[in-house]
Chains A and B, each alone.
Chain A
Amino acid sequence: MSGTPERSTRDAEEQHATNRGTPYAPHTDVEVDAMLESIGAGDIDALFDIPDSVQFDGELAISGASEQAVIRRLTETLAQNADDTEFLGRGHYSHYVPSIVDHLSFRSEFITSYTQYQPEITQGFLQALFEYQSLLVELTGLEVANCSMYDAATALGEAATLAARVRGTSGSRVLVPDYVRAERRAVLENYVTGVGLVVEEFPTEDGVTTPEAVGRVLDDDVVMVYVESPTTEGIIEEHLAEIGDLVAERDALFCLGSDPVALALLRSPASLGVDIVTGDASVLGLSASYGMGLGLFACREEYLRQVPGRLIGASEDADGNRAFTLTLQTREQHIRRERATSNICTNQAWIALRAAIHAASLGPSGLVSLAKRCHALAERTAARLDEIDGVSAPVHDRYHFREFAARTDGDARAIGAAMRDDGFAVHVLDGETIQICVTDVNEHRVDEFVRSLEEATH
């Protein structure tokens, strides 16, 4: 039993207000009677064609409450979360989301709509998603971006199954570097078992992937090589072009994990021989949200008909005006069923809308500035921590983006706990290493953070 619904202590009056029926159905009793008469049914129960033996004749053990009481209860419950300042990253980031993003994305015509199966009446959302795809095309240099998947981990899984489909010769291995988060790797493994692939890890050297390390494990049985930049530890990979050449020689696909803020600064993946970019695009438009994400997926045009997920295309309407529509739907599950390129149906469209509004509100200068700041903040903060006795930062002498690992002489777990007492959350990687992420949302507390770490190490 995963949990017993808690009997509420809410007052009887509130329950009475809702137990008469759902507040979100507009029927009066008189209307219900008229409708039943028109149908020719004696009562509503007569409309349910459920055999007695499987009818549920109890009462669901969930109490109702007024809107005000629900808001109060959930607000109070969430207030039990410690109000810590998070210096956490490792694939999930918070940047400041401008107020305009909420105001526009919450317009009810956007948020209360469904998938755009009738394009004529959903032009607004289709155009916004087309613009989202275009932003990713610009940032990745690749020709095709889909209009959203769930998160970085599932997008990586989809990339591997695409690689298995498009590769000319069969193969069974997917290679990933040792720094990939366990969660991301676990999702990848679940996505590829059905198509008969295995995931293998290769070692990195001083935090980055070397062509030599990839060369040692690469053979014709490899369908895809995955690398991240920035890596899980925030390191910018330095040898991507050479790795891209090696991967291409074996007719495998080269997949890069990244995100739209980092890509505003880093060299375009397409120019490095990357075939697919995956990652989490919710770094724009959404804060960490307990790991809710927006899967980024972009690839070369030659894989277009094997791309998973939704695609928006430009076409024309009967008046000759440019108009947008879902396109290439013959790849999708609702048409091709078990032969579809993916099972994804509901995706993260609204988060994609938010990411696009956020990117547009920053503009190219704002996005590049934010990216440069993410690099500078990581380097500067690491240098400050390195001055603390008993702390060595960054662990790897590499270029960093947003975050970095720091080695401590003391017990890293105890240090993490002591800092939490000061209201700071950091990753504790192992007995001697912590990881710290700095962005525009926690930058103003770096001084106090440094002091806290200094005290915790002494």
Chain B
Amino acid sequence: MQRHTQAVWDDTESDGYEPLLSEKGLETAEVGETGLPDELTRDSLELPALSEPELARHYTRLSQMNYGIDSGPYPLGSCTMKYNPKFTEEIAGLSAASVHPDRDAESVQGTLEIYHELQGYLAEIGGMDAVSLQPPAGSAGEFAGILVAKAYHEANGEGDERTEVIVPTSAHGTNFASAALAGYDVVELPDDADGRVDLNALSAAVGDSTAALMLTNPNTLGLFERNIEEIAAMIHEAGGLLYYDGANLNALLGRARPGDMGFDIMHYNVHKTFATPHGGGGPGAGPIGVNEDLAPFLPTPQVREEDGAYELFEPARSVGKVHGAMGNWLVLLKAHAYISRLGGAGLRDASAKAVLNANYLASQIDLEIPFGPFHHEFVASAGEQDAADFAKRMLDYGVHPPTTKWPEIVSEALMTEPTEAESKKTLEQVADAFDAVRGDAESSDSSSPERIAAGRIDQTSAARTPRLSWQRIHEE
């Protein structure tokens, strides 16, 4: 059995662990003479002042109080936390990679070539006709994709009638929020008893007001929507568009393509599928792909090749912009490096191993795991135990816990996605951790975790009495 103890720097002089930067030394700098009128400038600025060695220790200690995929398994369902190859950082760190977005196209042909090539790679992987790399994250991609759908319906004179976007109950919360941000009414679609789209419910929901259906396939239960062609036909017959949420694309690389399944629009979570580090919550990138009919509506600018030269252009009926520049370029560059390292065959193999790992791990865990067969993830039920308590106890076993309590279709859900990056032996250790916590119901209560930097954190009081800056702490 593997156990994990996290490094912690306990400081009895502060109220917590590693002191805040502000507790290590605040200093007030007087602004003094500036050449500007006094009423335009501040008098002074108070911020931490640390030497470089002090700074190095502060952040090194904080990093030791953090857990990443390089620390151990991170089977956080739907987040696709897989190992990120290191060499991609070398390319992203080149000074030639960091150009200003207003450079003339002629002077940044290298950047535009890679940008253009990535548009093509993603189109090939998704089976789509055109790709925009601009959205800076998955949900920004959803928003951009829905704006494209909206512009398409408006161009067809149906903008006023098509007011609804259909989203399955088990979908990512971003789908609902992105559709609402674009001004749509969200129609919730219940799952059927098998955890898939209920065709009868879909039939009742779809109609003349349907602008789009947003679907994740495989869905958040790890199940492939086998009726996808029927679903696509129902949406298309009603005049709606089919939107693919790329969160789970890692399960399908080289096996099936959203475009071939009838999807009109999709987004790619390149940070998930193409192994660029998630950076503690971002940056990611959320390119969108569309079919030929929708290509004229993509955000501006796009990159195209003319006579061997790359240039920016505005699609004929562009929705405009969803990012101030060209999106999260360094993340896109890393995704390009990852894709061109693996190639089509390597990508297909990555999906094969991801699906193998999910099914193997599911077979090793002694918990109820409804539905199946699984693609890249599955949802186990913690049964009588509270899924949140279950997760806290797992921390002591050197495993980042699964996503908990979602999707709600499974009670006390533990949504687990091992990815292709874990070995058979590691999967067995993860399964041991599940089983240990299950057999350890007595101790999987508020006393856990016991071996991690911090003990159980009171999240309720954090929300009830928000303290969101060190200024607030120092006032107390």
Is B3 part of the contact surface with A, judged by Cβ < 8 Å? Answer: no
Q: Which of B200-208, B234-242, B435-443, B450-458 contacts A (4 or more CB under 8 A)?
A: B450-458
Within B210-260, which residues are at the interface with A (CB < 8 Å)?
223-224, 226, 228-229, 252-257, 260
B324 touches A122 (CB 8 A): no
- Binary contact track A55-99/B, C-beta < 8 Å → 1, others 0: 110011111111100110111011111111010101110100000
| Min CB gap B292→A, angstroms | 8
B98 touches A287 (CB 8 A): yes
| Min CB gap A27→B, angstroms | 6
A327 touches B462 (CB 8 A): yes
Contact of A22 among B256, B420, B466 (CB under 8 A): B420
B453 touches A18 (CB 8 A): no
Is A169 part of the contact surface with B, judged by Cβ < 8 Å? Answer: no
A106 touches B137 (CB 8 A): no
| Min CB gap A434→B, angstroms | 12
Is B2 part of the contact surface with A, judged by Cβ < 8 Å? Answer: no
A313 touches B468 (CB 8 A): yes
Complex Cα gap A3–B223 (Å):
32
B226 touches A291 (CB 8 A): no
A363 touches B277 (CB 8 A): no
Contact of B48 among A290, A350, A360 (CB under 8 A): A360
Complex Cα gap A131–B468 (Å):
9
- Binary contact track B444-470/A, C-beta < 8 Å → 1, others 0: 001101001111111101110011111
B360 touches A39 (CB 8 A): yes
Is A204 part of the contact surface with B, judged by Cβ < 8 Å? Answer: no
| Min CB gap A13→B, angstroms | 14
Is B295 part of the contact surface with A, judged by Cβ < 8 Å? Answer: yes
Complex Cα gap A324–B468 (Å):
9
Is A210 part of the contact surface with B, judged by Cβ < 8 Å? Answer: no
Complex Cα gap A137–B462 (Å):
18
Is A275 part of the contact surface with B, judged by Cβ < 8 Å? Answer: no
Q: Counting chain B CB atoms within 10 Å of each CB, which of A4, A24, A368, A425 scores highest?
A: A24
Contact of A84 among B50, B103, B283, B333 (CB under 8 A): B103
For A353, give the chain B residue with the smallest CB separation: B280
A267 touches B455 (CB 8 A): no
B71 touches A59 (CB 8 A): no
| Min CB gap A163→B, angstroms | 15
B324 touches A152 (CB 8 A): yes
| Min CB gap B401→A, angstroms | 6
Complex Cα gap A330–B447 (Å):
25
B466 touches A267 (CB 8 A): no
| Min CB gap B216→A, angstroms | 14
Is B49 part of the contact surface with A, judged by Cβ < 8 Å? Answer: yes
A364 touches B449 (CB 8 A): no
Is B181 part of the contact surface with A, judged by Cβ < 8 Å? Answer: yes
For B424, give the chain A residue with the smallest CB separation: A31
Report A-chain residues with C-beta under 8 Å of the C-beta of B293. Answer: none
Report B-chain residues with C-beta under 8 Å of the C-beta of A4. Answer: 120
B363 touches A39 (CB 8 A): yes
Is B197 part of the contact surface with A, judged by Cβ < 8 Å? Answer: no
A109 touches B96 (CB 8 A): no
Is A168 part of the contact surface with B, judged by Cβ < 8 Å? Answer: no
Contact of B67 among A49, A122, A327 (CB under 8 A): A122
Contact of B16 among A22, A60, A186, A323 (CB under 8 A): A323
Report B-chain residues with C-beta under 8 Å of the C-beta of A323. Answer: 16-17, 454-455, 457
For A83, give the chain B residue with the smallest CB separation: B96
| Min CB gap B121→A, angstroms | 5
Complex Cα gap A356–B29 (Å):
18
With an 8 Å Cβ cutoff, the count of chain B residues facing the other chain is 213
Is A365 part of the contact surface with B, judged by Cβ < 8 Å? Answer: yes
B124 touches A24 (CB 8 A): no
B173 touches A335 (CB 8 A): yes
B329 touches A291 (CB 8 A): yes
- Binary contact track A121-135/B, C-beta < 8 Å → 1, others 0: 111110111110111
Report A-chain residues with C-beta under 8 Å of the C-beta of B275. Answer: 24
Is A181 part of the contact surface with B, judged by Cβ < 8 Å? Answer: yes
For A365, give the chain B residue with the smallest CB separation: B29
Within A312-344, which residues are at the interface with B (CB < 8 Å)?
312-319, 321-325, 327-330, 332-340, 342-344
Q: A64-B346, A150-B137, A365-B29 are in contact. Are A120 and B455 (CB under 8 A)?
A: yes
Report B-chain residues with C-beta under 8 Å of the C-beta of A66. Answer: 341
A18 touches B66 (CB 8 A): no
Report B-chain residues with C-beta under 8 Å of the C-beta of A322. Answer: 14-17, 473
Is A293 part of the contact surface with B, judged by Cβ < 8 Å? Answer: yes
B91 touches A292 (CB 8 A): no
Report A-chain residues with C-beta under 8 Å of the C-beta of B395. Answer: 118, 120-121
Within B77-108, which residues are at the interface with A (CB < 8 Å)?
79, 81-85, 87, 89-91, 93-94, 96-104, 106-108
A291 touches B342 (CB 8 A): no
Q: Counting chain A CB atoms within 10 Å of each CB, which of B139, B140, B180, B283 scores highest?
A: B283
Contact of A1 among B129, B327, B333, B339 (CB under 8 A): B129
Report A-chain residues with C-beta under 8 Å of the C-beta of B82. Answer: 24
- Binary contact track B265-289/A, C-beta < 8 Å → 1, others 0: 0000101000101111111101000
Is A26 part of the contact surface with B, judged by Cβ < 8 Å? Answer: yes
For A304, give the chain B residue with the smallest CB separation: B466
A122 touches B66 (CB 8 A): yes
B101 touches A291 (CB 8 A): yes
Complex Cα gap A451–B223 (Å):
66
Is B125 part of the contact surface with A, judged by Cβ < 8 Å? Answer: yes
B320 touches A186 (CB 8 A): yes
Contact of A181 among B44, B107, B324, B331 (CB under 8 A): B324
For A147, give the chain B residue with the smallest CB separation: B281
A47 touches B462 (CB 8 A): no
Q: Counting chain B CB atoms within 10 Å of each CB, which of A41, A143, A264, A316 scores highest?
A: A316
Report A-chain residues with C-beta under 8 Å of the C-beta of B283. Answer: 150, 292, 346-351
Q: Which of A187-195, A245-253, A386-394 contacts B (4 or more CB under 8 A)?
A: A187-195
Complex Cα gap A103–B52 (Å):
12
Q: Which of A171-179, A213-221, A372-380, A404-412 contacts B (4 or more CB under 8 A)?
A: A372-380
| Min CB gap A126→B, angstroms | 8
Query: Ordered nearest first, which 9 A-B pairs have the shortest CB separation?
Result: A291-B325, A64-B343, A350-B279, A60-B344, A322-B16, A153-B324, A194-B183, A3-B120, A291-B101
